[in-house]
Amino acid sequence: METRHKILILDDDQDWLELSREMLKQLPSKPEIRTANSGSRALAMLDTEPYRLLICDLKMPRIDGLQVLAIVRRRFPELRTVVLSGLEDEEFRSRSYALGVDLFWLKSEMQRNTQMFLDCLESLIGRDSEGGFRGIQSKSLMDIIQMECLSRSSTVLRITRGPLVAKLWIHDGELIDAETEGARGEAAFRRILGWKSGTFENLPAEQNHERTIHKPVNALLLESAQAIDENADTDTTEQTVQIHRKTVWKLAVLTREGADFVVAVLPDGTMESLGTQTQNAEHCAKWMRRAEEIVKRISTKIEAGPLLHIGASNMERRLLLLPRENKSFLIGWSPEQADNSTLEKSKKIAASWDS
């Protein structure tokens, strides 16, 4: 059944509320229209039921519109917001956008261009729950980052999603660092890209900020886009989504490095495999377990030190066995892909496996 979205209009002018209500009835999606004449009343209404859109005046007694928007940003990050104000000062427009509103319209403009205003509102409420980042017309975070990088700008993007705050440092169009929830670098960037909605603002660039991300931003975005696509199915449980995300991430790493497959064996003997030609994974895992036993025996006999890796090859394949404390990896390469950097690439795959 199609659900009707709810719109809340907040203004201290009762006549304006009635006028707006009549006007919004013209919206093609026929949303439910509610009104509130004070900030506290609006916040109470937002608490009681989910709204799609808040249309907010700025100049109001007690709690003004900017204060309401600041609270809304933290408490209802999914809620789309529009400022409809009579204040023609540009400062209010920029302060509103800094708070992450989707649209800023002057009441006078709205009356002159009613149809355009309604089209904008319809577009906002019609945009489904894929989310988006407020600040530039609900673009996705990927779009925003790409725009910053393509314009070769230097900036710090501060992204807020409810209580979570993240920062992305962009220098001359290159993503150099990311930080959120105690994570830094690529790990933080991946986590941030997982956010479906929020708000962002541009802070001044920080010169001489330490670089922790060396991979091109497009490669990172591609990996994350694959992971997000996989997560689009909202019917799956969170756990399944996590597994999917992990699997896609692992496949992305595997593909990027050019390996054919990975077989990982845990100390308890269980195994997992990924990639092409994994039909033989059980056999590979068995050989890995035996090989480690045999090699340990050799090492003990001649006191050659710990095993660093085992390389193996035949006409069809190159294999690299990397023993790790909690897991051993067998990484398969085609002869064409295997070269002097294979060991380093394999180590990278193993290192990123559980990250």
Q: Name which of 53, 96, 98 is nearest 106 in CA terms.
A: 96
| Interface residue with other proteins, options 44, 136, 294, 351 (CB under 8 A) | 294
Find the distance separating the first CA and the last CA of the chain, reported in whole Å: 41
Residue 305 found at the interface with other proteins (CB under 8 A): yes
Token pair for 285? 């895992």
Distance in Å, CB of 250 to other proteins, minimum: 22
CA distance 75 to 334: 52
**CA pair distance 131, 330, nearest whole angstrom:** 40
Q: How far is the CB of 180 from other proteins (least distance, A)?
A: 33
Which is nearer to other proteins, 121 or 330 (by Cβ)? 330
* Contact present, 106 and 88 (Cβ < 8 Å): yes
Q: CA distances (Å), 281 to each of 14, 274, 276, 286, in order?
A: 71, 9, 10, 9
Burial, 65: exposed, middle or buried (Cβ in 10 Å; 0-12, 13-18, 19+)? buried
User: Taking a C-beta distance cutoff of 8 angstroms, is the pair 5, 125 a contact?
Assistant: yes
* 169-208 residues near other proteins, rule: CB under 8 A: none
Among positions 54, 66, 291, 350, the unique one binding other proteins when judged by CB under 8 A: 291
Of the candidate residues 74, 75, 214, 297, the single one contacting other proteins (CB under 8 A): 297
Question: Can you tell me which of 309, 327, 334, 352 binds other proteins, judged by CB under 8 A?
Answer: 309
Give the shortest CB-258-to-other proteins separation in angstroms: 14
Stretch that binds other proteins, among 55-63, 107-115, 158-166, 295-303 (CB under 8 A): 295-303
Which of 74, 152, 211, 283 forms a contact with other proteins (CB under 8 A)? 283
Residue type, 143: D
Give which of 116, 175, 167 is closest to 146, Cα–Cα.
175
- What is the nearest approach in angstroms of other proteins to the Cβ of residue 253? 19
Using rule CB under 8 A, residue 320 touches other proteins: yes
* Mask for 321-340, x = binds other proteins (CB under 8 A): ------------x----x-x
# residues contacting other proteins (CB under 8 A): 37
Q: Where are the alpha helices (DSSP H) in 162-237?
A: 185-193, 217-230
Least distance in angstroms from the C-beta of 347 to other proteins = 9
Report the alpha-carbon distance of residue 315 to residue 229 in Å, rounded: 37
Which residues are at the interface with other proteins (CB under 8 A)?
280, 283-284, 286-287, 290-291, 294-295, 297-299, 301-315, 317-320, 333, 338, 340, 342-344
